[in-house]
Amino acid sequence: MTDSDSPDRERGVDTETGEDREPRVDTDTENDRTEQSATRAARERAGVAESAGGDLPEAVIGETRRLTRLARRASDESEAAAYRADRAERLAAYDFVSRLRETDDTLVLYPAEWVEDGTVQTHRIGDTDRAHELTLSGPGDPEKWEQVETYNAEIVDRVAEQHGHPHRRNARAFADFVGNHYAKRVDAATAPEVEEFLTEYYPRNAWPSERQRAVVRDSVRYVFEVAETPSPL
C-alpha cells in the first residue's frame, strides 16, 4: 500500500490534538467540500474566471469577520445562508475557505488546497503564514457588534449628508476598520487606533483616490464631529 492509499492519510490529522480523525462537518461554516463547490459557483456568478491567488487583503479579512457575525445573528437560516454565501464568494476569489474553531471561537481561513473532506491535510501545508485566525470574540464587546455596526453606519450617513463625497467613502473605511478590528463605535477609537487606520489600514486596504487620500484626516475629524465627540487628531 502506498502512502497515498493509506487510510490514515485519507482521514487526515486533527490540527489541535494531533490525532487521526474522520472528516467532520463544521456547524458554522459547513462542510468544506460543500463550501468549495459553493465558492466555485459564486465565482462563476460574479464572472470571475480565475482565482486572484496569493494572500488575503486586510479588507477581505475584515469583511469575512463582519459577514460571519451577521450570519450568527441572522433571524432565520435563509438570511444566515446568504451571509455565508457572500463570505464564500469573497474568499473564493483567493482560493480560501473558512472553518470555525469552536474551542476558542476563532474563524480560521485556510488556502483551499490544504483541506480535503473537512480535514486539513498537514502534508499539503507549505507556508503556515498564509492561514489567518480571526478571533470572533475580539476586542470590545462582541455581543453588541450588530448595534455597533448600526451606530457606525448612521455616523457615516451623517458625514455624507453634511460633507458629501469623498468624505463618505473615507468615513465608511474608518467605520469598517474600527468595527471589524476593534468591535466598537467609531467615536470610541483611541489616538493610536486612529493613527493605525491612517498609516497602515487606509493606504493598503481602502483603495483611495488621490482626492480621498488628500482629505482623509478631515474625514476622520468629521466622524468625531458629527458624533459630538472630541477628536484625537
Q: Given the C-alpha cell 493509506, which residue does it identify?
A: 6
Q: Which residue has the higher pLDDT, 68 or 127?
A: 68
Q: Closest by alpha carbon to 174, among 211, 140, 143, 217? A: 217
Instruction: List, for residues 197-230, the tens digit of each pLDDT value.
Output: 999 889 887 888 899 999 999 999 999 999 999 9
Q: Which residue has the higher pLDDT, 6 or 123?
A: 123
Rg (CA), the chain: 20
Decide if pLDDT at 34 tops 90: no
Give dist(CA 65, CA 213) in Å, integer: 26
Give dist(CA 119, CA 183) in Å, integer: 30
Average pLDDT over residues 132-152: 71
Instruction: List, for residues 107-118, the tens digit of each pLDDT value.
Output: 888 887 776 666
Round the average pLDDT of the chain to a whole number and report it: 74
Give me the pLDDT at residue 124, please: 59
Helix (H, G, I), strand (E, B) or coil at 131: coil
pLDDT-derived band at 24 (thresholds 50, 70, 90) equals: very low
CA angle, 175 then 181 then 182, to 5° = 85
Q: How far is CA 128 from CA 19, 99, 134, in A?
A: 19, 16, 15
Which amino acid type is present at position 3? D
Decide if pLDDT at 44 tops 70: no
Give me the pLDDT at residue 134, please: 77
Average pLDDT over residues 84-95: 89
| Residues 6+ away with beta carbon under 8 Å from 91 | 39, 56, 60, 64, 97, 98, 109
Give me the pLDDT at residue 56, please: 80
Other Cβ atoms closer than 10 A to 14: 15
- Alpha helical stretches, state H, the chain: 7-11, 32-46, 58-72, 77-92, 145-163, 167-182, 191-196, 202-205, 210-226
